[in-house]
Amino acid sequence: MVLESKNSWHNVDTIWLSNGKTNSMGRIEFKCQFVNKKELCYEEN
Amino acid sequence: MKSLWAMCTLCMVSVAYLWAINDDTFTEEKQQIVPTTQDDCGCSPQPQIETCVTGCAAIPDTTPALTKKDFLRNLHLFANEPLSSKSLALETLLFYGEVTQNWLPETSVLDKEHLQFLQRELQKTHVEIQLRVVDEKGIVRIELEPTVVKIGDKYHQHVHKTQEIQSLEISGTIKRVGLYHLWSRF
C-alpha cells in the first residue's frame, strides 16, 4: 500500500482477534515517517 | 476348527491393517510446492513451501536496476522542472535513492537550488514505523513501538507488547515512492 509520510495513524486493514475466550474485530493502524540520516546519527550518538 | 481358522484370518487381517496405518503414520510429511502469483510489489512469482511461514519479506527484490542513461535522463528532466511533488523525474531519482546518491557527484547539471533540494531529500534514508491493533472497544491489543527501519531493506520485528493476545511477528519492506509517500507491505 502507498501511504503518506506523516505523524498520524493510517487505517490499513482489519483482522479477527481471538484468544480462545473472547473474540473481536481488530483495526490495524500503521504509522510511517521519514527519518533524516543526520537525525538518526544524532540519536545513535 | 472352523472358528479357529476364522480367528486366525481375522488376526492376520488386523495385523495387516495396523501395519498399513503405521506405515502411513511414520511416512515423512512431504513439502508441497505451490506457485504463487505476481505480487503488487513487483516481486517475481516464487515457489512457496506450504509448511513454512513466508511473506513478501522472504521474497527476493526484483526491482529493475536504474541504468546510467535513465539516471541522466531523469536528472536533466528534474533540472528543468519546478521543485514539485508532481515531478516523475524527481520521484524516480528518490525511488533509486542510493544509486542517485552515488552518481550525483559526477554530474553538474543541477543549479544550486535543485541540488540542495535533492541532497536534502536523499538524506531521508530511514523510516520510523509504528503499528497497533485496536479492538472494537478501543483497546490497543497489539502494539509495535516506534522502530526505525532502512528504506529498501527487509525488516522483521517481534511484537511483545500485547494485551490478552499472543505475541506475534511482523515483517515487510518499505520503499520510497514519492516526495511525501512510502510504499509498505507487511
Domain-embedded: residue B32:
no
Higher-scoring residue by pLDDT: B179, A37: B179
Question: For the residues B142-171, what does the mean pLDDT come to?
Answer: 88
Answer whether A41 touches B (CB < 8 Å): no
User: Any idea what the Cα angle at residue B150 is, between residues B111 and B76, rounded to 5°?
Assistant: 20
Q: Please give the share of chain B, as a percent, with pLDDT higher than 90.
A: 44
Distance between CA atoms of B47 and B35, rounded to whole angstroms? 5
Q: pLDDT by residue (tens digit) across B92-142?
A: 999 999 999 999 887 788 999 999 999 999 999 999 999 999 999 999 999
The answer to whether residue B88 is domain-embedded is yes
In a domain, B102, yes or no: yes
Residues of chain A with pLDDT below 50 are 42-45
Q: Look at residue B112 and tell me if it is in a domain.
A: yes
Contact A26 B142 (CB under 8 A): yes
Tell me the angle at which helices B112-122 and B68-79 cross, rounded to the nearest 10 degrees: 120
B101, B118, B132, best to mutate vs chain A, most A CBs in 10 Å: B132
CB A17 within 8 A of CB B165: yes
The verdict on residue B96 lying in a domain is yes
Greatest C-alpha distance within chain A: 48
Torsion of CA B186, B48, B51, A12, to 10 degrees: 20
- The reported pLDDT for the residue numbered B125 is 92
Query: Is the minimum CB–CB distance between A14 and chain B shorter than 8 Å?
Result: no
Full domain range(s) for residue B92: 68-122
Mean pLDDT to the nearest integer, B157-175: 87
CA distances to A36, B158, B182 from A40, in Å: 6, 22, 18
ipTM for the predicted complex: 0.83
Asked if the structure places residue B84 within a domain, the reply is yes
* Nine cell digits for residue B173: 519492506
How many domains does chain B divide into?
1
Do B118 and B97 touch, CB atoms closer than 8 A? no
A vs B: CB pairs below 8 A: 88
Cα angle B126, B128, B129; round to 5: 125
| Confidence check: pLDDT of B75 > 60 | yes
The reply to whether B20 falls in a domain is: no
The per-residue pLDDT for range B17-38, each reduced to its tens digit, is 555 545 444 444 444 444 444 4
Q: Is the pLDDT of residue B73 over 50?
A: yes
Give CA–CA dist A6/B123, Å, rounded: 17
Query: Does B82 have pLDDT greater than 50?
Result: yes
Answer whether residue B149 is part of any domain: no
The mean predicted confidence, pLDDT, of chain B is: 77
| CA–CA dist B18, B131 (Å, integer) | 52
